[in-house]
Amino acid sequence: MCAARTLEPSLVLSMCALVKLRCRPAGSQPSESVSLIELSEKRIWDMIETPSIFRLQALFLIIQYHAEVGRFERAFMMASIASRHVTALQLKHESPHLSFVTQEIRRRAAWTMALLDGYFSVGLPGYSTINYEEIYQQYPCREEEFGSTDPDTIRGSSTARVEDKAHHSMLELILRISRVRRDIMRFTRQLALLEQPLKEFQGIVQGFQMNLTQLQEKIASVVGSSATGTIIQPNFRWVVRSLEVQLAWRQAHCDLFRLFLLGHPNAAPDVVLRPLGSSTYANQAQEICQEHSDWIVESIKNVRKMNLQVLFSFDIARCAYQAARLNLFLAHMPNLRSQLTSESAVSNAAECLAFIKEKFVSSAHAQRMISDLSLLIGAYETRDGHFGAAMALDSLRFSGDAVEKHNQLSAHSLIHQANFVDDSYLYEL
């Protein structure tokens, strides 16, 4: 298709549909884009037995479209079709006989499927459409290399990646962090089922922490490092990826160490935490969670001040949402050794909420986070019930027995927002 200098119609149609969706006047209905996405889907269904990378790319955009307009059920089912494309085209494996650009297209298609899967499964294998462990492709190359017109850069990129350990792309870092976060969420879910103490608990946590420390070195080599805050370069072409890398790394720490926060909805069960006593991790967990959630909040504040006119990734909204919730929880812990007040925590959460509202005002998949965070802020602001009342509200989605807690999904999970109905009752006699 590239040789013929033509574009796959389904890809063109889905691109146009997303552009029309995002560029429509505020408050208007996405009527024009609907017909475009339907035409794109029709072509894919008509050629379902002959998958191609270009139609797979169209599928990614179609799934994104359905998620943004609130058709979560269709987005999930289409993700399964995309996963079949990846398998049928053998995109999980390297093809060294192909050119550099073609190999990179294949790699990015496979890894895009992995990122997409995270929006549905959130650590639940039953909802997974692809496994990281089954992808044997290299991570995508650096952003500058993929878009380079210099033949020497293209020819030498593969060799450079082997020889230069610091030769990482921001997309690679996003994928690596995403994998760690997925594993932490799986670990969190497994803990919910335990009825006996876990001797290896702190050792497993230490393993995750070591992985994150190693990633920090890679991040510093690509993005840079700063002791005062997140590095944001407004005029940098990849500013969104750079921001996502930094926030996701910090969110991973919050996901990990909130396991030690007694009373937190995502904390490990009492049977696991009780034997720890005053262990190092138990003592440091509050400080670590506050450090990283504060960092995320401050980054969001800086982004709002800069008024960046870019499209932010959904994961940045997820990080803002989770940091706001954690900040509120920490401010009301009775034994917290910090200067974080209830007022400042509510103010921080309001900043994160304002960011999500501003940048995802027309995105249906962000509305559950907006409503959830709005209710939580309101509960903390009333002060009548103090910590207990607010946490009771925050725990509504986390009630139930161990099995239910294991299977529960966050407000930002697209599966959580889908409305699948088991119609088995129709077959009852």
Question: What is the chain's alpha carbon radius of gyration, rounded to the nearest angstrom?
Answer: 22
341 and 261 both lie in a single domain = yes
- Residue 389: its pLDDT value, please? 46
270 and 196 both lie in a single domain = yes
pLDDT band of 282, cuts 50, 70, 90: confident
Taking only the tens place, the pLDDT of each residue in 150-168 is 555 554 555 545 445 457 8
Contacts of 406 (CB under 8 A, 6+ apart): 189, 190, 192, 193
Contact in structure between 223 and 243 (CB atoms under 8 Å) = no
Domain-terminating residue out of 141, 169, 187: 141
250 and 110 both lie in a single domain = no
215 and 119 both lie in a single domain = no
- Examine residue 93 and state whether it is found in any structural domain, yes or no: yes
- Residue 353: its pLDDT value, please? 98
| Rounded Cα gap, residues 204 and 184, in angstroms | 10
121 and 260 both lie in a single domain = no
- Examine residue 402 and state whether it is found in any structural domain, yes or no: yes
- Examine residue 415 and state whether it is found in any structural domain, yes or no: no
Taking only the tens place, the pLDDT of each residue in 374-387 is 999 988 877 554 55
- Examine residue 135 and state whether it is found in any structural domain, yes or no: yes
Note the pTM of the prediction, 2 decimals.
0.89
- Examine residue 1 and state whether it is found in any structural domain, yes or no: no
395 and 318 both lie in a single domain = yes
124 and 208 both lie in a single domain = no
Enclosing domain of residue 279: 179-409
34 and 130 both lie in a single domain = yes
The torsion angle over the Cα atoms of residues 336, 213, 130 and 45, rounded to 10 degrees, is 90
- Residue 17: its pLDDT value, please? 95
- Residue 397: its pLDDT value, please? 46
Specify the number of domains making up the chain. 2
404 and 275 both lie in a single domain = yes
Looking up tokens 């027309």, which residue turns up? 362
226 and 305 both lie in a single domain = yes
The H helix count followed by the E strand count for the chain is: 18, 0
